[in-house]
Amino acid sequence: MSRFLSEDLKNLVPYTPGEQLAGNFIKLNTNESPFPPSSRVAESLNTVEINKLNLYSDPTADLLVSEIAKYYSVKKENVAVGNGSDEILAFAFNAFGEKGFICPEITYGFYPVFADFFGIDLETVQMEDDLSINPEKYYSSKRNIILANPNAQTGIYLDLNEIERIVRSNENKIVIIDEAYIDFGGESAVSLIDKYDNLLVVQTFSKSRNLAGGRIGFAIGNKELIADINTMKFSFNPYNVNRLSILAGSASMSDCEYFIECTKQIIENRENLIEFCHANGFIVTPSKANFILMKHPSIDGKDLYLQLKEKGILVRHLGGLISDYIRVTIGSKEQMDKFKEKTSEIIKCKIQEI
Ligand SMILES: *Cc1c(COP(=O)(O)O)cnc(C)c1O
């Protein structure tokens, strides 16, 4: 820390991203897709386009916004895009933070960081014993609400009816639904945006669209909310989505067939892994995301994480309230087979020790 850092930022604890290790690890720790982007992405990024990088990107990102609007059957005025959904979330915290926010105590680790960064009160709400969210705890809230659905870390999904009840009971608070994992079996709340002017849905290209490195996220909501997000954007970084990402994102959005094929494969591999867990004495959350949270009575989460790492498999050990668990990203079939093989070896050894 330099002696110049502002006083109110001295205690800021930054977000810790998952390890991005070099080497031959099977990487199941940051919920990326194991599949490459749609082939239309590479086709859209040709030499002609690269040679236009001397020019700024379109600040309205019209091509990308149009493609997203088309996919969700909403108007362009209902869509704002950002440099990853993290940037959209930051804009939302900044724009709507006055009354503070509430979120579950186990959720995306960036929410408390944003709250700190912008000096916003963030109250956390206890989970149920099975790590699920009790929607009633979010009715008639004194603060704005941010929920990841499916929830980060647990993958547990709240039904669209439950989301609607939360939105309806908080008509004077904004409700942000972070749908980073919605495409792996959930139903999006985008269908509710015309009915509720206090609902903002946030999504990303990083998980289900295989474009984490492209840094593209978006918000869908009532046009006034979107205008507010865009006021943040134009007050901070008008060219927030670069030329190549605008092309990559719109190409990816247009390729429905490949999107369905990839998400279907992830869902299949997830269900298969959950079955493996049940058959091998693991406790696992009923995830509707591209990861699962699992623990075994005979091994501590940290220990399992370290032993898997030694065997070339990188998963996430999150500690805190879920330190018994590891979080495992759903990869390709081959990756999952390796994961199952190595995990079985570790568990067999542990059980023999006891
Ligand atoms: C991955 C993730 C994000 C961030 O996505 P980017 O678009 O890569 O910034 C946001 N929210 C949740 C819950 C996530 O898991």
Residue 347 C-alpha to ligand 1 middle, in angstroms?
32
Radius of gyration from C-alpha coordinates of the chain: 21
How confident is the model at residue 354, as a pLDDT?
A: 67
- From first to last of its 354 residues, the chain has per-residue pLDDT tens of 999 999 988 889 898 887 777 778 999 999 999 999 999 999 999 999 999 999 999 999 999 999 999 999 999 999 999 999 999 999 999 999 999 999 999 999 999 999 999 999 999 999 999 999 999 999 999 999 999 999 999 999 999 999 999 999 999 999 999 999 999 999 999 999 999 999 999 999 999 999 999 999 999 999 999 999 999 999 999 999 999 999 999 999 999 999 999 999 999 999 999 999 999 999 999 999 999 999 999 999 999 999 999 999 999 999 999 999 999 999 999 999 999 999 999 998 887 876
Q: Could you tell me if the CB of 90 is within 6 A of ligand 1?
A: no
* Two tokens, residue 177: 């639904």
| CB burial string 70-95: b at 16+ within 10 A, e below | eebebeeebbbbbbbbbbbbbbbbbb
Ligand 1 atom nearest to 86, measured from its CA: 9
Cα–Cα distance for residue pair 35/25, rounded to 1 Å: 16
Before 150, cis peptide (omega within 30)? yes
- How far apart CA 88 and CA 180 sit, in angstroms, is 12
Structure tokens of 13? 């604890």
Q: Are 235 and 85 in contact (CB under 8 A)?
A: no
Structure tokens that stand for 186 in this block? 């959930």
User: 182: Cβ below 6 Å to ligand 1?
Assistant: no
pLDDT in tens, 74-95: 999 999 999 999 999 999 999 9
In angstroms, how far is CA 231 from the centroid of its own chain? Answer: 24
In ligand 1, which atom is closest to the CA atom of 31? 1
Q: Cβ neighbours of residue 349 under 8 Å, at least 6 residues apart?
A: none
Strand 79-83 to strand 216-221: parallel, antiparallel, or no bridges (unpaired)? antiparallel
Q: Which of 128, 117, 56, 58 is nearest to 90 (CA)?
A: 117
Strand order in the sheet with 291-295: 283-284, 291-295, 326-329
Q: Is the CB of 122 under 6 A from ligand 1?
A: no
pLDDT in the model for residue 352? 81
Distance in Å, CA 339 to ligand 1 centroid: 24
Our answer on whether the CB atom of 204 is closer than 6 Å to any ligand 1 atom is: yes
CA separation for the pair 174, 155 (Å, rounded)? 23
50: Cα separation from own chain's centroid: 29
DSSP string covering 8-21, please? Answer: GGTT-----PPP--
Task: Find the helix or strand (DSSP H, E) in which 272 lies.
Answer: helix 256-279
Q: Which atom of ligand 1 is nearest to the CA of 148?
A: 13
Kindly give, in sequence order, each residue whose CB lies less than 8 Å from that of residue 230, ignoring residues fewer than 6 positions away: 80
206: CA distance to ligand 1 center in Å? Answer: 7
Ligand 1 pocket residue status of 294, Cβ below 6 Å: no
DSSP strand pairing (283-284 vs 291-295): antiparallel
Distance between Cα 86 and ligand 1 center (Å): 6
User: Ligand 1 centre from 353 Cα, in Å?
Assistant: 40
Distance between CA atoms of 233 and 236, rounded to whole angstroms? 5
Candidates 238, 236, 199, 244; CA nearest to 219 is 199
